[in-house]
Structure 1
Amino acid sequence: MTDGTYVGPSPVKPIPDDIRPSQEHAITLWSDIRSYVAALPAIDRIFLVGAGGSYSGLQAAHYQLDRHSLIPTTSVNSDEFYYRASPAVGPGALVITLSAAGNTPETVRAGSWAQERGAAVVAVTLNSEGPLAEAIKTAFIARNGDGNQILLQLLVLAVLQREGRDVSAQLRALASLPAATEAALRTFEPTAAAIAEDMKDVPVTYLIASGPLQGMGSTFTSCFLQEMQWMHAATINADEFFQGPFEVFDQGTKSILFLGEDETRPMSERVERFLEQYGGTIHRVDSRDLDLPGIAATERSFVAPLVYYALTFRLAAHYAAVRGYTLEGRRYMWQFAY
């Protein structure tokens, strides 16, 4: 861990000023996304395809499809998708690929293969000139990851509208999301600072989540802590917690618990009760505590993963500040062929 990414503890970087504009830009693409999905001749199965943080970033959209759509949905890692070569990939299948920079070769290959098979393939990415956008006929381009998350949810809403569902409440929530995210980030700053300071040197970081927050938890532990801070970390599904992982928890174990307002909240509350009795310090990040102005109570669970996406970036910034390791350094990734 001495390859030049250690700069020493420093003040946390300010909240980026590109989050709100990126979210607002993504919302303007609703008409294009709705028209694209409505014009498809058939959709009888959906595949969500990505790798690494992009695969984790698909999980909130998958949750909404599972909850509200009659169309079977599968989320799968890019290379698994390609090598499994399911015969279900073809006409009638909608394949949504996600790659932030659009450079992930596994995702480019997976999307290209599905397109060759006759599936309707969409790319969600930040780079209109990247390999993914160039390989896939239909690409929706965001300005940053916060925008990508909105594009995924807009694709979900377009599918639901195609099925005859009223999505006006969700669209109103997305319209209010940029201001709500700003408010949530401001109120989260003290919590983020406290978590980072207390957890910066733990031997293993355990984060427990459920439902639509599962992917955001995995993004934090896999991308930010393992990839960027070289810390041992894992996200545990709240139900799977009781299928083995809880045996390693004791009074000396510190953990982070994501609590949402969706239907799976009782799973995380069950973990919370266990940890209060048998675990050590619990750092709760509860969406009920977030200030989300303009978001109807019925839609808070819908927007929560999009807000948590921004919150995890802030939490990572606080880790970098107190640990002294930048978020840009890598030991292996992009350093050589592997």
Structure 2
Amino acid sequence: MNTKQIISEIKEKQPNIKSVVFVGCGASKADLYPAKYFLDGNAKKIRVSHYTANEFNYATPEAVDDTAIVISASLGGTTPETVEANARAKAKGAHVISLTRSIDSPLTKDADYVIYHRFAESYGAKLEKMGYCLELAMEILDQFEGYDNYEDMKEGFEKIYNLADNAAASAKLYAKKFAEDYKDAPVIYVMSSGATHEVAYATSICLMMEMQWINSGTFHSGEFFHGPFEIVDKDVPFILLMNDGRTRNIDSRALTFLDRFDAKTTVIDALDFGLSAEIKKSVIDYFNPMLLSAVFRVYAEELSIARQHPLTKRRYMWKLEY
């Protein structure tokens, strides 16, 4: 069953959907954010929220009932907090949709609908969780409220995975230079805006802190001048994931300041990788995070090689009770 069919079936059961709640942990939570951002910006009536799973469990929104769609994600389908969130949502009568790569994993137990995605096969495949969730958001908006740019979005989905694979392949040399320049950095700050905001967040907490044990902080480019810019100095390391779309000026303003004080800045710009050549202006904002995620994955891989620290290496995760 595809995303269109799933939402159509939910609508048949409940034509009065009032809320959509996105639930996950870590990178999976971040993968849900572009869909949340899309609905926030386009839905006129539907209430939208985005929770880390354990907060959803301890402070479950009152809106979670038979008028709510809960969309959860877990790569391996075993994240305990997200599995519990599914059970809570199901018990309250919500329509539960889960995204995972693992067939018959615990996450699927209390899900009304499961979308299986790929991950390891290619850089494009790593985007499928994010992409399918965004497709669900598109269908929810179109079927419950109507969406004028539906065809532009569909065309975007037809192009983004190949574009991301090509962009990742072309980034290798830039990624190697980044790795050499940043391999000894004691701390790396990451920022972005728009739909890419939580890609920056996941880059910081997952790729830097979890997978490389590098101290990192992240913030929205629009918040840069409301506190974080005070730590800017010559050679302080920053990563700026630069969007091609309505929030580009926000990213550009931050970059101008970083350059002014000679910060050690790596810019990964969706414009450089041809996003606007393939995706229509009407929907380009929502495809930035997919392209930038694919490209930065190459940077992270090269950083792990330069530091002789595999992305799979852990001290605590999966090894201790916590």
Matches within 5 A, 1:1-338: 29-41=2-14, 42-70=16-44, 71-144=46-119, 145-162=126-143, 163-166=145-148, 167-292=150-275, 294-338=278-322
CA–CA distance in 2 between the matches of 1:239 and 1:32?
38
TM-score normalised to the size of structure 2?
0.91
| C-alpha separation in 2, matches of 1:50 and 1:36 | 23
SS in 2 for 1:49: strand
Q: Which AA in structure 1 matches 2:8?
A: S
CA contact (8 A) 1:37 1:155 kept: no
Superposition CA RMSD, Å: 1.7
Does the C-alpha gap of structure 1 residues 228 and 266 become closer, same or farther in structure 2, counting only changes over 3 Å?
A: same
Partners of 1:92 and 1:34 lie apart in 2 by: 13
TM-aligned CA deviation for residue 34 of structure 1? 4.4
Return the letter of the residue paired with 2:111: I
**Gaps spanning 5+ residues in structure 2: where?**
120-125
- Give the letter aligned to residue 183 of structure 1: N
- Aligned equivalents of 1:193, 1:69: Cα separation in 2: 41
Letter in 2 for 1:295: I
Instruction: Using the TM superposition, give the Cα deviation of residue 297 of structure 1 relative to its aligned residue in structure 2, in angstroms.
Output: 4.4
Assess, with a 3 A threshold, how the Cα gap between structure 1 residues 294 and 239 changes in structure 2: closer, same or farther.
closer
The match for 1:22 is none
Query: What is the Cα deviation at residue 309 of structure 1?
Result: 2.0
Paired with 1:128 and 1:212, the residues of 2 have a C-alpha distance of: 29
Cα shift at 1:37? 4.6
Q: Distance in 1 between matches of 2:7 and 2:246?
A: 27
User: What letter is aligned with 2:152?
Assistant: A
Deviation of 1:130 (Å): 0.6
Unaligned runs of 5+ in 1: 1-27
Shift of residue 133, structure 1, vs aligned partner: 1.0
SS in 1 for 2:171: helix
Find the aligned partners of 1:304 and 1:169 in 2 and give their Cα distance: 15
Deviations 1:98-117 (A, max 9, x none): 11111000001011101100
How many residues of Structure 1 are paired with residues of Structure 2 in the alignment? 311
Q: CA deviation at 1:151?
A: 0.7
Question: CA deviation digits over 1:69-98, x for unaligned, max 9?
Answer: 121211111010110122111121111111
Task: Tell me: CA distance 1:95–1:193, structure 2 relative to 1, closer, same or farther (3 Å).
Answer: same
User: Quick check: 34-43 or 61-70, which moved more?
Assistant: 34-43
Shift of 1:172: 0.9
* Structure 1 residue 321, shift from structure 2 partner: 1.2
User: Does the C-alpha gap of structure 1 residues 178 and 246 become closer, same or farther in structure 2, counting only changes over 3 Å?
Assistant: same
The letter for the 2-side match of 1:29 is N
d(CA) in 2 for partners of 1:243, 1:32: 44
Contact conserved, 2:10 with 2:95, CA < 8 A, in 1? no
Instruction: Indicate the SS of the match to 2:118.
Output: coil
Note the C-alpha offset of 1:246: 1.1
Distance change >3 Å, CA 40–CA 256, structure 1 → 2: farther
- Distance apart, 1:67 and its partner CA: 1.2
CA change 1:30–1:81 in 2 (3 A) is closer
* Contact in 1 for aligned 2:127/2:161 (Cα 8 Å): no
Q: Within 2, Cα distance between the matches of 1:135 and 1:186?
A: 39
* Cα displacement (A) at 1:31: 4.0
Check whether the contact 2:175–2:302 (CA below 8 A) recurs between aligned residues: yes
Shift of residue 137 of structure 1? 2.2
| Higher RCO (Cα < 8 Å, 6 or more apart) | 1
Deviation at 1:279, TM superposition (A): 4.1
Alpha-carbon distance, 1:191 to partner: 2.0
Other structure's SS at 1:283 match: strand
Distance 1:33-1:309 versus aligned 2 partners, 3 A rule = farther
What amino acid does structure 2 have at the position aligned with 1:212? A
Structure 1 residues 40 and 283, CA, compared in 2 at 3 Å: closer, same or farther? farther
Contact kept in structure 2, 1:128 and 1:134, CA below 8 Å: no
**Aligned-residue offset at 1:40:** 4.5
